[in-house]
Amino acid sequence: MEDIDIDHIETLGGFGSPELMEILQDFLDGLDAHSSELISHLDRGDRKAFRESAHRLKGGAQMAGFPKLGNLAATWEELALEETKPLPDKTDLQTNLTRAIQAARTAFSIHANR
């Protein structure tokens, strides 16, 4: 799975579109807050809020062209829907989320600065 979907971004206007670049940068800049939100919901054991936050991250990542991050969030959303299963381990979530965010930022930076 790719960190960035170049073809999708091209259909949105491509890396030459200043407006799109601003939108994508805003999305990437908001990921730290979104990460904190997910972890906060996980710490409180708030399954519904965790699922909703994962759903928003999934949708945003998919729309912005970051499939690996979107798939990770989709996995958490599905897990949170299953009431009989425990929510993800906090350390694993933090590690996976941090890696996916960094990979998305790196991939964006590489392609945006070509």
Residue with tokens 């799975």: 1
Whether 27 contacts 57, CB under 8 Å: no
- pLDDT of 59-97, one tens digit each? 999 999 999 999 999 999 999 999 998 999 999 999 999
Residue 1 clears pLDDT 80, i.e. is over it: no
Structural tokens at position 110: 């590489």
Mean pLDDT of the chain: 95
Tell me the pTM: 0.94
Label residue 113 by pLDDT band (50, 70, 90). confident
Structural tokens at position 50: 């965790």
> What distance in Å separates the CA atoms of residue 104 and residue 68, rounded to the nearest whole number?
8
